[in-house]
Structure 1
Amino acid sequence: MKIVKPSSLLIAGLAAIGLTTAAHAADTITVVSWGGAYTNSQVKAYHEPWMAKTGNKINSEDYNGGLAEVRAQVEAGNVTWDLIDVELADAVRGCDEGILETLPLEELPAGADGTPAKDDFIAGTLHECAVGEIVWSTVYAYDKTKVAAAPTSLGDFFDLAKIPGKRGLRKTPKVNLEWALMADGVPADKVYEVLATPEGVDRAFAKLDTIKGDVVWWEAGAQPPQLLADGEVVMTSAYNGRLFNAIVNEKKPFDIVWDGQVWDIDLWVMPKGTKNKAAAWDFVKFSTDTQRLADQAKYISYGPVRKSSFAKVLPEMQPHMPTAPANFKNPLQNDFGFWADYGDELNERFNAWLAG
């Protein structure tokens, strides 16, 4: 039998096909988050190990929250983001609007101890279009070198006579209105009941009026520690993870006041129409397993949403978690349903108040 050797052209063609197949085997997804220490914790705990395991690539982008860009991409039929880290109210609203993909939650891996995912995730952290990652808090901090009497309560944040100086607040009604009512004497478990009334809203804005002239407004999570470091404010609201990074890693002379902390969760969502749905979902399953959530807590003081992850969090990190007993004495859980219902009108009122 005559053996025909393949031509060099055929070999080159086969090689090209092989290279093309290899190239298509690797996916690239765009993952959008909040930047700074938080995104860095995700890169170390989620991105790098997933890329090493799968050979896929991640483009990491930062944003300042909200659904405006997601909505614009979906409506234009030009979705360039594959996964977005969002707050719970936005996850619920986006799902209701139909601009987010529904997710096959039954495919999430069981916990390391064998507990099914639906029982391993803390109640309220799995949603039709979203998978929770971390528990975080908005707290306030002060520069210990700039105050004579250290603040200890939420009331002290609003007391310009006791502690003079500029305050930093995020440029949004969320948290500010809740804090205003709590500082005005409303118990944590009554805040949303009061805020759901016109009188409660008026009361909250009246309390904010008492410090309005001394507020420096911030919009990005990196700003509050910088405002403190630059001496532009003596105290400021901030995400607890940003403060942990400044205090522990950068050795800044800041201290956190946990009284009245408003705690929340962050979740992964997928815009409707992403072209990389399979790879993005694989990343979600990987990044929210027991070990990866515990790994993230090595880098930042946000608590994992899986129960099976807690035992794997480093002991030295546990006191920095929002849910540590000493920090969780007077907390308020952000009511995503309230903000889904009242967010638009309160944003409108807040913007008008700012302009007034």
Structure 2
Amino acid sequence: MRTRFFAMMTSATLVVASPALSRDLTVVGFGGATQEAMRETLFKPFQEKAGAPLLEESYTGGIAKVKAMVETGTTTWDVVQMDENEMILACDQGLLEPFDWASLPNSAEIIEPAKSDCGVGAFVWSKILAYDGDKTSGVTSWADFWNLEKWPGKRGLRKQARMTLEVALLADGAKPEELYAILATKEGQDRAFAKLDEIKSSIQWWESGAQPMEWLASGEVTMTSAYNGRVIAANQQGRHFKMSWTNQLYAMDFWAIPKGGNRDQAFRIVNFMTSPDPQKAFAEKMVYGVTNAKAMDSISADIKPQLPTAEENMAGALAVSTPFWVDHEEELQQRFNRWVAQ
């Protein structure tokens, strides 16, 4: 879900009277509208409950910074938002605290796919097809995304092999349940790149989640892949962007705890952020799926149909395969980079 380079910046600092701690608790996210929603629904409520300072930082993903901190004994990040691939890689390299699910207070409420050796699911997000409803209509599928004759204009796609090759195969008619078996073969990979060739000259590559919304608003692109929560956030600001849920690609982001940080406080806030009330508040603000089963019961009726995990939105959906990308990402990303540069 995130790029492989690291770019950190301080995004916010929350200040209250501090108890005697060796270092203030620091939580790190991916920034943007998602982290703004986290600040309102997760970070500030925890800070008020704990009566202790909470610092925020943001980054663009990757495990390089966490690796450097842990290996040099200079960990200053206590809880980090990670996509599943990177969480697994960091876990395999011994960079993250293990989760003892038998002793975690919320364990029984957390859905099984959200339980990992070194992390807990923060939320379920989706990559969907988005367009401006004030300018475009009738779009229903990734095949339409490829139809430059009927809907002229630029197309926005993430500059990353993961989830872009899947979109190409879906546009080419691959069934979700067969997609990764196809993509695991050279013939399937060639098929995905050949499909991308069809619209290559019309692709505008995005690298941050904010760009697709900016480009739709300015008219730079006619359609784009985008994160569903970003579209909702833009519409809350007065836009009329539309989403096609057909063949949505869904995945999960995780909370992970780097070794060498404020371990006890880190587990305390993670437990808080994955409890029913905070998850409900975040889902209703950002419209991402919850990982605490009890939270779903109390989400408002007008929000539930907009969630990636809503039954009607899951029809024909593709679950992004973390095992596939752990095994194939390096080779496919290298080929993707060469293809983009040609």
Q: Normalising by the residue count of structure 1, what TM-score does the alignment of the two structures yield?
A: 0.88
Hey, what's the Cα distance between the residues in 2 that align with 1:27 and 1:77? 14
Hey, what's the Cα distance between the residues in 2 that align with 1:169 and 1:61? 27
2:295 maps to which residue? 309
1:55 pairs with one of 51, 54, 61: 51
Hey, what's the Cα distance between the residues in 2 that align with 1:320 and 1:179? 21
1:290 maps to which residue? 276
- Aligned residue identity for 2:252: I
1:108 Cα deviation (Å)? Answer: 2.3
2:127 maps to which residue? 138
- Aligned residue identity for 2:114: T
Aligned residues: 325
Give 4+ residue runs of structure 1 displaced > 3 Å after superposition. none
What's the secondary structure of 1:24's corresponding residue? coil
Give yes or no for contact 1:29–1:279 (8 Å, CA) kept in 2.
Answer: yes
Hey, what's the Cα distance between the residues in 1 that align with 2:269 and 2:310? 29
Hey, what's the Cα distance between the residues in 2 that align with 1:131 and 1:95? 12
What's the secondary structure of 1:302's corresponding residue? coil
- Aligned residue identity for 2:104: L
Cα deviation per residue 1:242-294 (whole Å; 9 max; x = unaligned)?
000111x11212100111111011110112222x1111111111111122111
Hey, what's the Cα distance between the residues in 1 that align with 2:300 and 2:253? 21
Structure having the higher Rg: 1
1:278 maps to which residue? 264
Q: Note the 1:71-150 alignment, pairs <5 A.
A: 71-110=67-106, 117-118=107-108, 120-147=109-136, 149-150=137-138
Hey, what's the Cα distance between the residues in 1 that align with 2:74 and 2:331? 29
Hey, what's the Cα distance between the residues in 1 that align with 2:132 and 2:38? 28
Give yes or no for contact 1:64–1:219 (8 Å, CA) kept in 2.
Answer: no
Hey, what's the Cα distance between the residues in 2 that align with 1:75 and 1:26? 20
1:298 Cα deviation (Å)? Answer: 2.0
Give yes or no for contact 1:144–1:150 (8 Å, CA) kept in 2.
Answer: no
| Larger displacement relative to structure 2 (149-158 or 225-234) | 149-158
1:355 Cα deviation (Å)? Answer: 1.1
Q: Note the 1:259-270 alignment, pairs <5 A.
A: 259-270=246-257
Which segments of 5 or more consecutive residues in structure 1 lack a partner in the other structure? Answer: 1-21, 111-116
1:187 maps to which residue? 175
1:339 maps to which residue? 325
Hey, what's the Cα distance between the residues in 1 that align with 2:241 and 2:281? 25
CA RMSD of aligned residues (A): 1.5
- Aligned residue identity for 1:161: E
1:166 pairs with one of 128, 134, 154: 154
2:64 maps to which residue? 68
Q: Percent of pairs identical after alignment? A: 40
Q: Normalising by the residue count of structure 2, what TM-score does the alignment of the two structures yield?
A: 0.91
1:78 Cα deviation (Å)? Answer: 2.3
Hey, what's the Cα distance between the residues in 2 that align with 1:224 and 1:328? 23
1:27 Cα deviation (Å)? Answer: 5.4
2:233 maps to which residue? 245
Hey, what's the Cα distance between the residues in 2 that align with 1:270 and 1:25? 18
Hey, what's the Cα distance between the residues in 1 that align with 2:221 and 2:68? 35
Hey, what's the Cα distance between the residues in 2 that align with 1:27 and 1:47? 17
Hey, what's the Cα distance between the residues in 2 that align with 1:344 and 1:269? 23
- Aligned residue identity for 2:149: A
1:90 Cα deviation (Å)? Answer: 1.3
Hey, what's the Cα distance between the residues in 2 that align with 1:209 and 1:80? 44
Which segments of 5 or more consecutive residues in structure 2 lack a partner in the other structure? Answer: 1-17
